[in-house]
Amino acid sequence: MPDPDQSLKRLMQMRPADWLALIMRLLGGGRLEFVGVRPTDLAMEPPRVTDALIVARYNGVECAVNMEAQTIADATIGQRFYEYAARIRTLHRLRTLSIVFWLERKGRVPTSPHSERLGDLPLYDQHFVSIEVYNLQAADLLRMGEQGAPGLLPLVPFTKGGATLEAAEAAGRIAMATPNEEERVPITTMVGILAARKIGQVAANALVRRLVVSYDLLESSPLYQQWKEEWIEKNRGQWEQKAYVEGEARGEARGLRRAVTLALRGRFGEPDADLAQAIATADEAMLDDVILHSGSDSLEEIRVRFGL
| pLDDT value of position 278 | 86
The one-digit pLDDT tens for each residue of the chain (308 residues) are: 556 767 788 788 888 888 888 888 888 777 888 888 877 766 555 566 778 889 999 999 999 999 999 988 899 999 999 999 999 998 899 999 999 999 999 889 999 999 998 888 888 999 999 999 999 999 999 999 999 999 999 999 999 999 999 999 999 999 999 998 888 888 998 898 889 889 888 788 888 888 886 545 556 666 666 666 665 565 555 434 433 333 344 455 676 777 778 778 877 888 888 888 888 888 777 777 776 676 667 888 888 888 88
The Cα–Cα gap between 308 and 306 comes to 6
Is 211:279 a contact under the CB 8 Å cutoff? Answer: no
Q: Which residues contact 133 (CB under 8 A, 6 or more apart)?
A: 101, 102, 103, 155, 158, 159
Strands 114-118 and 121-126, how do they pair?
A: antiparallel
Domains of the chain: which residue ranges?
Answer: 4-134, 159-218, 223-305
* Integer-rounded Cα radius of gyration of the chain: 20
Is 128:112 a contact under the CB 8 Å cutoff? Answer: yes
The long-range contacts involving 244-251, CB below 8 angstroms and separated by at least 24 positions, are: none
Predicted TM-score (pTM) of this structure: 0.64
